[in-house]
Amino acid sequence: MKSLPQTCEQCLEEYQVALEDLRSYIQRARKIGLNEFQARELIINFEVTHELALKVMTKYFEKQGKGPFSGSRDLTAEAFHADLIDDGKAWLDIVIDRIQYNPVYSIDTQDKFLHNIQHKYIHMLERFEDVMSEKLN
């Protein structure tokens, strides 16, 4: 049985749940720190949340009759031009950090990535939630 495609609003709800989980991970990390396993969990949770943000953007643009986009960079640029996000460069930094963190590359970027998630990216994701909630209500 085929499932119905998700609406933009449903994608936003899924994103909000993931964002709340990410907030919990970050609060715990700030209180007690992270061991290696918890650090990987935090990064995975962040990546899921970011993917869901991209999915919300995609659904929003589909609703507007725009797209498809060739990748997360093009989608991010369009989101910036549509005022869904307020710092296009920082959102592109997320894409770059995620690529560099990939285990295929030998450089160790985990500490920088964790720092950015906890001190920079979480705030960007929260602002995106606010903007999308306002646009969809």
Domain locations in the chain as residue ranges: 8-136
- pLDDT, one tens digit for every residue, the chain (137 residues): 556 668 899 999 999 999 999 999 999 888 888 888 888 899 999 999 999 999 999 999 999 999 788 889 999 999 999 999 999 999 999 998 888 876 655 557 778 889 999 999 999 999 999 999 999 98
Residue 86 phi/psi, 5-degree rounding, is -105, -5
- CATH 1.20.120 correct for 8-136: yes
Residue 18 CA, chain-centre distance (Å), reads 9
- Asked whether the beta carbons of 8 and 60 are under 8 A apart, the reply is yes
- pTM to 2 decimal places: 0.90
Q: CA–CA distance from 54 to each of 23, 30, 79 (Å)?
A: 18, 26, 9
Alpha helices in 3-121 (DSSP H): 8-32, 36-63, 72-81, 88-101, 110-116
